Structure 1
Amino acid sequence: MKNDIFHILNRGVEKRKIFSNHEDYIRFIYNLYDFNNANIVFESYSRRKQKHLSRLSGVALPTNRNKLVDILCWCLMPNHIHILALEKINKGTSEFSRKIIVGYTNYFNKINNRSGVLFQGRTKIIPVKRNKHFLCLPFYIMANPLALLEPTWKEKGLKNCQAAFKFLKKYQYSSLSDILDDDNLISVINKKLFFELFETNPKQFQKDFIEWLNMVGSRTPDTSK
């Protein structure tokens, strides 16, 4: 329902990679913008790319949209996606999810000369209650890339939390740098709403994120087994 918050996630079928290169990631990020619209999309990524042969991150995007959701944060991994969104119109989240998955699958299949499904079944759209878990959800979502740096960090802990956070800040395919007001490929989130809902700001969010990493990343391995 309108104003409900949802955690959207899906992964590649058989856990396969859904992003093969930088261009794939960029395409999906633009899909987050283009398909977040209840109206028919006329100025698509492909059309903009034909007009602007250089890097698309500097291209001004249209603002006359009837948004399906307000994206709060997101993260793209080689074989799965996470999006946290607030629904703006009834059933907007399911429509948004359908559009981005179908749109990206069509693109991926076309450039790779393949057919069939790319994602593993129906997209999970999980209602989020505004409680203690909700406050930590952005940390969880945007900490996913740590699996690329330290694959066993959840079991064995982080070697260096400051270095881990620095890695996350440099990771291009999440909303963290956008939230922290650093350079980002393209802004698709509602930052004002994000800061209001989580009662934070860029400086405070960074401080809280590092504290969260110190807490969850300092687990002592169980050596009794």
Structure 2
Amino acid sequence: MGRRPEMVGGGLIRSLGGWSEVKKLRLKGMDRIKGDERILGDSDFVMSVLSKADEQFERRYELKRLGYDMSRVADTVARIYSIEKDVLFQKGRQKLRSDARRLFCYWCFAELGLPQTELALALEMTVSGVGYAVRRGEKIVKQYHYRLTDKDS
């Protein structure tokens, strides 16, 4: 004999306005609630977050389909900054190299979804240094309107 949902916590039923409101939602075809204001937010908020995550997943899948990986991003960044690709992986505090590494970190992390630990190993940086570079790289993209692919608008 199963317990009624309101007996197990009951907070969700109460936050929806009780069983009568739940029944009204079911009549409207909303038999599944995607969120709870007490934790994440209402269903509209949760659906918008899920939609954004889906778009991000599709973008990463498309980039991988087009052959984008760490090496190809490095090629793109090297072309933008007119440097040799191997310079990107060398240590140094020259502004040009630092900016190139920041852009590289941003695109690899934000666009490809590569872990910051993987980038830290490749660039011989700390993970926190990569996190900082990602934030600075995002500013560079916005400031100069750089695009990873020709298809980006």
The answer, yes or no, to whether TM exceeds 0.5 is no
Name the structure with the higher strand share. 1
Q: Which has the larger radius of gyration?
A: 2
Name the structure with the higher helix share. 2
TM-score for the superposition, normalised by structure 2: 0.30
Q: Which has the higher contact order (CA 8 A, sep 6+)?
A: 1
